């Protein structure tokens, strides 16, 4: 959630629970995520551990595997994996202090055994830790198909190779399909047609399991809250499967259909938090909601009147949907306020803001043009038997040399010289497309996940494909990899409770200060590596 957008709502007198938070608590005028990568996993690690990436060990969504100091750009590891945390997160500090803590669909909370039987943080906290998590438990993609009116069923194949039967006809309103033997399920929805005579659309949310270290609770969750609903139909929307998008000459129907699925998502997270408050009654709860993030990834560049993508017609179609997700966030905040007392501490943080995107830069095209890379058009990936340097798409700006020690073709003894030459191939882009072209060996503050680190100019994103162009203009979206200090990327931070003066303004803060501040307000020992803060009220 960008602070600038929240501020707009508050100035218009909207979002009554955030209004109350601002009046009765202390709020920052924006919060900056530590760079160079402001994606969800490293941003959460910084918030919860109170230290930078070298301390907590999480750098991005997907990173190349590093084995005995060697980077393998084509083997990936996942940023949400708790095994990789090198620093104690705040919930461990609460568990160590003897508190009962619950993590609900919270980043870096799985595999659960990291905090229980593996005792990575010094003890098995099974007796007081409850984890419920589903983001990592998806067994099918989301599906949109034409509705068929029939009594029959079809079978849906899950990624564990099993199949489940589902009715051919979509229900009139959203309906859960729960499979207890699979510990999960999905939601079925129907979208009304765009034009008369067209069939209805049938949307199936991804099949997800409910993972928990308390099996009874997972079963109860499925009965009372229903299957996990977190992605809405955003992927399908982006592929025009809900109808043409409004900015691709759509009628606005695709946005209405997406809004219907986003409403289910908002309701699901609200019910899930209510379930934890009533059934688990934790002393400390960590809750996560991704509704605003989903919308802004799609539309950030269309919402600003000064953007070349802006038109009133487009804005009028998108804004009600964005507003609805802010309202769901506000409702969830209202629920937490209503269920907490004056002795409770309530903290609202967003892990990042959202920058508008207006163009795509293709680093692998530059490498191909300069003769360092051969693209396999069939597999849509670099041909590693012929490439000496590659940009790995999910890897936030790193160019990695395909050295022999990594199973590649470039001689290790020439690595420095090759890195300098490859970096110089990007020089023509400096100032117009790229802000920075840095050799990581010369910059210890940049995580060493490749030899060269590229930072694009504001509003330009990077993509892996080679399609015959270096830059694609007029591509509009939202993204939060870079530019942590830009206005749009500033995040939200608010506190309310004992020790927090009402109506206090905290200036611009940093993610790194949050963990220690919460720990001290709660009267517990801060996370071991929390080296920043506390914020003074
Ligand atoms: Zn995001």
pLDDT in tens, 348-365: 999 999 999 999 999 999
pLDDT digits (tens, 9 = 90+) for 37-78: 899 999 999 999 999 998 999 998 888 887 877 777 777 888
Confidence category of residue 108, pLDDT binned at 50, 70, 90 = very high
Q: Residue 394 — left, alpha, or beta (φ > 0 → left; ψ -120 to 50 → alpha)?
A: alpha
CA of 257 to the centre of ligand 1 (A): 21
Residue 374 domain-assigned? Answer: yes
CA of 62 to the centre of ligand 1 (A): 13
CA of 489 to the centre of ligand 1 (A): 11
CA of 396 to the centre of ligand 1 (A): 13
Residue 365 domain-assigned? Answer: yes
HEC assignment per residue over 238-294: HCCECECCHHHCCCCHHHHHHHHHHHHHHHHHHHHHHHHHHHHCCCEEEECCCHHHH
Confidence category of residue 395, pLDDT binned at 50, 70, 90 = low
CA of 488 to the centre of ligand 1 (A): 13
CA of 392 to the centre of ligand 1 (A): 19
Residue 72: predicted pLDDT: 79
First to last CA, the chain: 23
Residue 40: predicted pLDDT: 94
What's the mean pLDDT in 105-110? 98
Q: Yes or no: say if 272 and 105 are a contact pair by the CB < 8 Å rule.
A: yes
Residue 426 domain-assigned? Answer: yes
Residue 172: predicted pLDDT: 93
CA of 165 to the centre of ligand 1 (A): 33
Residue 343: predicted pLDDT: 96
CA of 235 to the centre of ligand 1 (A): 13
Residue 184: predicted pLDDT: 97
How far apart are the C-alpha atoms of 319 and 357, rounded to whole Å?
17
Residue 202 domain-assigned? Answer: no
CA of 294 to the centre of ligand 1 (A): 7
pLDDT digits (tens, 9 = 90+) for 512-529: 999 999 999 999 999 999
Residue 385 domain-assigned? Answer: yes
Residue 265 domain-assigned? Answer: no
Average pLDDT, the chain: 95
165-168 — which CB contacts under 8 Å span 24+ positions?
A: 166/204
pLDDT digits (tens, 9 = 90+) for 142-188: 999 999 999 999 999 999 999 999 999 999 999 999 999 999 999 99
How far apart are the C-alpha atoms of 440 and 429, rounded to whole Å?
19
Could you count the other beta carbons within 10 Å of the beta carbon of residue 149?
9
pLDDT digits (tens, 9 = 90+) for 233-263: 999 999 999 999 999 999 999 999 999 999 9
Residues with Cβ within 8 Å of residue 365, at least 6 apart in sequence: 466, 467, 468, 469, 470
CA of 479 to the centre of ligand 1 (A): 7
Confidence category of residue 537, pLDDT binned at 50, 70, 90 = very high
- The CB-side HSE value for 383 (13 A sphere, CA atoms) comes to 11
CA of 170 to the centre of ligand 1 (A): 30
Residue 152 domain-assigned? Answer: no
Quote the pTM value: 0.95
CA of 297 to the centre of ligand 1 (A): 6
CA of 357 to the centre of ligand 1 (A): 13
Coil, strand or helix at 42: helix
Q: Yes or no: say if 48 and 88 are a contact pair by the CB < 8 Å rule.
A: no
Q: In this prediction, what percent of the chain has a pLDDT beyond 90?
A: 90
Print the domain residue range for 410.
359-479
CA of 167 to the centre of ligand 1 (A): 33
Number of domains in the chain: 1
CA of 298 to the centre of ligand 1 (A): 10
Confidence category of residue 335, pLDDT binned at 50, 70, 90 = very high
Residue 42 domain-assigned? Answer: no
Q: How far is CA 163 from the centre of its chain?
A: 29
pLDDT tops 90 at residue 393: no
CA of 354 to the centre of ligand 1 (A): 8
Residue 36: predicted pLDDT: 87
CA of 528 to the centre of ligand 1 (A): 28
Could you count the other beta carbons within 10 Å of the beta carbon of residue 456?
24
How far apart are the C-alpha atoms of 434 and 449, rounded to whole Å?
19
CA of 290 to the centre of ligand 1 (A): 8
What's the mean pLDDT in 193-205? 89
Residue 173: predicted pLDDT: 94
pLDDT tops 80 at residue 287: yes
CA of 153 to the centre of ligand 1 (A): 36
CA of 181 to the centre of ligand 1 (A): 32
The better pLDDT of the pair 192, 494 is held by 494
CA of 107 to the centre of ligand 1 (A): 12
Confidence category of residue 493, pLDDT binned at 50, 70, 90 = very high
CA of 480 to the centre of ligand 1 (A): 6
CA of 177 to the centre of ligand 1 (A): 28
CA of 180 to the centre of ligand 1 (A): 31
CA of 481 to the centre of ligand 1 (A): 9
CA of 450 to the centre of ligand 1 (A): 23
CA of 276 to the centre of ligand 1 (A): 25
CA of 231 to the centre of ligand 1 (A): 12
pLDDT digits (tens, 9 = 90+) for 430-475: 999 999 999 999 998 888 889 999 999 999 999 999 999 999 999 9
């Amino acid at each position: 959630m960008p602070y600038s957008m929240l501020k707009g709502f508050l100035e218009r007198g909207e979002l009554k629970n955030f209004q109350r938070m601002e009046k009765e608590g202390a709020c920052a005028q924006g919060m900056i995520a530590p760079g160079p990568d402001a994606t969800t996993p490293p941003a959460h690690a910084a918030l919860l551990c109170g230290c930078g990436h070298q301390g907590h060990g999480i750098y991005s969504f997907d990173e190349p595997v590093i084995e005995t100091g060697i980077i393998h750009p084509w083997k990936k590891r996942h940023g949400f994996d708790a095994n990789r945390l090198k620093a104690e997160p705040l919930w461990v500090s609460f568990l160590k202090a003897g508190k009962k803590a619950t993590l609900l669909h919270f980043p870096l909370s799985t595999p659960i055994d990291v905090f229980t039987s593996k005792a990575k943080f010094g003890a098995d906290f099974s007796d007081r830790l409850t984890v419920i998590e589903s983001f990592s438990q998806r067994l099918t993609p989301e599906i949109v198909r034409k509705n068929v009116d029939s009594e029959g069923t079809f079978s849906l194949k899950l990624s564990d190779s099993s199949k489940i039967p589902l009715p051919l006809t979509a229900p009139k309103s959203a309906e859960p399909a729960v499979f207890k033997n699979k510990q999960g399920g999905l939601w079925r929805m129907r979208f009304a047609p765009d034009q008369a005579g067209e069939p209805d659309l049938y949307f199936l949310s991804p099949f997800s399991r409910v993972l928990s270290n308390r099996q009874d609770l997972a079963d109860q969750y499925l009965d009372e809250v229903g299957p996990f609903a977190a992605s809405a139909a955003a992927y399908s929307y982006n592929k025009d499967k809900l109808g043409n998008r409004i900015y691709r000459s759509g009628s606005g129907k695709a946005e209405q259909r997406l809004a219907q699925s986003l409403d289910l998502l908002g309701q699901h997270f609200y019910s899930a938090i209510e379930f934890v408050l009533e059934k688990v009654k934790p002393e400390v709860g960590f809750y996560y909601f991704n509704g605003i993030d989903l919308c802004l990834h799609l539309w950030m560049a269309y919402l600003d009147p000064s953007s070349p993508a802006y038109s009133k017609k487009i804005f009028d179609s998108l804004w009600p949907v964005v507003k609805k997700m802010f309202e769901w966030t506000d409702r969830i905040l209202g629920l937490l306020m209503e269920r907490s007392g004056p002795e409770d501490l309530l903290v609202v943080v967003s892990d990042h803001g959202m920058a508008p995107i207006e163009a795509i830069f293709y680093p692998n095209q530059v490498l191909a043009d300069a003769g360092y890379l051969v693209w396999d058009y069939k597999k849509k990936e670099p041909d590693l038997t012929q490439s000496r340097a590659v940009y790995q798409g999910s890897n936030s700006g790193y160019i990695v040399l395909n050295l022999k020690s990594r199973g590649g073709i470039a001689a290790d003894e020439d690595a420095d010289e090759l890195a300098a030459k490859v970096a110089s191939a990007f020089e023509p882009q400096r100032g117009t497309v790229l802000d920075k072209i840095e050799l990581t060996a010369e910059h210890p503050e940049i995580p060493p996940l490749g030899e060269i680190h590229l930072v694009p100019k504001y509003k330009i994103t990077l993509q892996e494909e080679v399609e015959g162009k270096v830059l694609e203009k007029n591509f509009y979206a939202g993204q939060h990899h870079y530019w942590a200090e830009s206005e749009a990327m500033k995040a939200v931070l608010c506190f309310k409770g004992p020790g927090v003066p009402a109506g206090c303004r905290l200036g611009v803060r940093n993610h790194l200060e949050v963990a220690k501040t919460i720990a001290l307000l709660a009267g517990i020992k801060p996370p071991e590596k929390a080296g920043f803060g506390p914020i003074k009220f």
